[in-house]
A and B are shown apart, each in its own frame.
Chain A
């Protein structure tokens, strides 16, 4: 039930500044998808509250999400990209470190990177891993800005 309650808290967060402070605990950085509903839990507890066949979660959780995140500067209008990167921070970081992966493919599709440039783009990202992810406090908006910057060089 924790998840639903957390979901409700998330829904009123925009209107309530005291709760918004609590939310900054998570930010939109690494671990965002895992911990955004319950920042003080451990990964073990995240596992315990997720679902199996029977489980409760009657929400339509698709249109909210990245409102509390810091907005990127370089991407003017690509909400789908911003939300994907914010909610897949760990997976994307993992793919960039390895130079390949589905999350990376998705980002490059959303950024319209031409097929023939992907190889080079992925290598450049891998080379620049430390710059894209300078610390564990890095925010999704900064990650996007760096990725877009690198894409322009390719």
Chain B
């Protein structure tokens, strides 16, 4: 009786049912609960105080109010300590009185450690060698009021995975089999991870958010500690969940609401830029970008590079440089450069802790003996958001073995070898589902010409210092030549090789192997093995791509010569348009087939 009366009288003092109803549909409240389409996107039921909270924002509001007003907890478990953002929001709109005033020690320490003052979104470049990171990655950085950005805190959203799982890792990543959590780490740790270990450039977008916004984000972040949502690689991924943190302070932008089928990290940057939310952009080069820039900016000779490399690998003593008669500045250059190279080789040579510490100190001691300071100039590439958009619609005309055709193709994402490289990794290709439909007007026939599930190509330059392997995979269903006609095959191919820079071109040499499984009759299936080369010239306004391969095709009981040659020229028409001319020849079953095609492409 008393309890009932108490609850009643207290809820009365917060205002009428109508007030609470109104408040429960306030965009800030809905964003604090991560509501979308009438339901919360937080799957952890412990996040909610009402059993209905995940689908009923009013019930959650009432439960939160009740918990705040009745809790007798004096410490960290008080709802005002556990839900500081909700509490701040409700206090602003209602005359709220707590039964006890708790001491939120844990939250207070967390908040004063971060000392939120400003917010940046950080984009880490593409990392083609890990399929989960090919689109890049974004996280938030919350900065205390210091000039140095090393003192900021990176707020990351990631799935809690077990990498040992192999294929299951990908299946679970795509289907929501993993739980995703928010995490906070000092920014320098993330820099180390991305710039040094993975060699990914970082782009830092300072957002137009003030101290109060930054503080509210940190409060909300505390509410999300150890709370999970199921992770979906394409849509509910890191970049998407990070947007909720901006949404709680800018609900009118409804950033999360703009992404449904997939959330591509760079698209979230574009959305923020479009809304005028970006104040300034900083570029943080990765270790390898810095090494390449160093050679150019300091005009290192091949001999100097070799010397620095030997020192970094401890095949030569640093003292030999110190004692040599070369100018002091050259000594500084070489030792500075070997210092940069050291970490790269330490990882490659699987160095253990004791050896690492000794060698690092030996190198640094030598470097400290030369006073000259070296500050290499690092040119800033085009930022990722200045690249073309990921989806592509193409219309094309051409002839195939003398037969005229027209058609269209649509690609959901992301970047093809023929596309302009501005804002993307040079010599890279990442294509996720794309479809190509062809009509032959003279035959009055329309066919599905190709359905690509995934195609990846990474042409990574090798040079004196870096020796990466180039590789490619393709998985598609496409029409291919057999004896007298084309029919559908499942194409599974894989290639490896080496790429080098020759003048302005990147040239690949390697071996491609492919398995064509016929969809009409298994007997028609075949295997081919082609020593191949790919050359990519220039970028910007013009681009030229040449591909060639010649080898063998093996059917169930016979072997044939097989070869193909293809060239394309791309003319850039603004940021989101291109025109492409291409021509090719393929030799299958002792017959040459020629094709030419002209296409116009629109990116969106």
Contact = CB atoms under 8 A, between A and B. Distances in A.
A149 B385 CA distance: 47
B357 A30 contact: yes
Given A33-B189, A62-B114, A93-B361, A55 B368 contact: no
Given A50-B198, A53-B133, A130-B368, A100 B375 contact: yes
Given A35-B353, A61-B185, A97-B368, A56 B161 contact: yes
Most chain-A CB neighbours within 10 Å: which of B135, B185, B189, B353? B353
A103 B150 CA distance: 8
B91 interface: no
Nearest to A79: B113
Contacts of A39: 353
Interface stretch (A16-24, A67-75, A83-91): A83-91
A96 interface: yes
B110 A60 contact: yes
Interface string B336-358: 10010000001111111110111
Interface stretch (B204-212, B230-238, B491-499): B230-238
B188 A87 contact: yes
Contacts, number: 186
A105 B150 CA distance: 10
B371 A1 contact: no
Interface string A98-114: 11101101100110000
A52 B132 contact: yes
A126 B371 contact: yes
A78 interface: no
Contacts of B189: 33, 61, 87
Interface residues of B, number: 70
Given A43-B347, A62-B110, A129-B364, A109 B146 contact: yes
Interface residues of A, number: 59
A127 B369 CA distance: 7
A129 B365 contact: yes
Contacts of B133: 52-53
A40 B366 CA distance: 28
Contacts of A30: 356-357, 360-361
A79 to B, nearest CB: 8
Contacts of B352: 40-43
Interface string B149-184: 011010010111111100001000100001001111
A53 B237 contact: yes
B225 interface: yes
A123 B225 CA distance: 44
Contacts of B151: 80, 84, 106, 110
A46 interface: yes
B357 A31 contact: yes
Interface of B: 109-110, 113-114, 127, 130, 132-133, 135, 137, 146-148, 150-151, 153, 156, 158-164, 169, 173, 178, 181-186, 188-189, 192-193, 197-198, 225-226, 228, 231, 233, 237-238, 336, 339, 346-354, 356-358, 360-361, 364-365, 367-368, 371, 373-375
Interface of A: 1, 4, 26, 29-31, 33-35, 39-47, 50-63, 80, 84, 87-88, 90-91, 93-94, 96-100, 102-103, 105-106, 109-110, 123, 126-127, 129-130, 133, 135-136
Give the top 6 A-B pairs by smallest Cβ distance, nearest first.
A58-B181, A129-B368, A56-B160, A44-B350, A97-B364, A106-B148
Given A39-B353, A53-B127, 11 more contacts: A26-B353, A30-B356, A53-B137, A56-B158, A61-B184, A62-B153, A93-B361, A97-B367, A99-B371, A109-B146, A129-B368
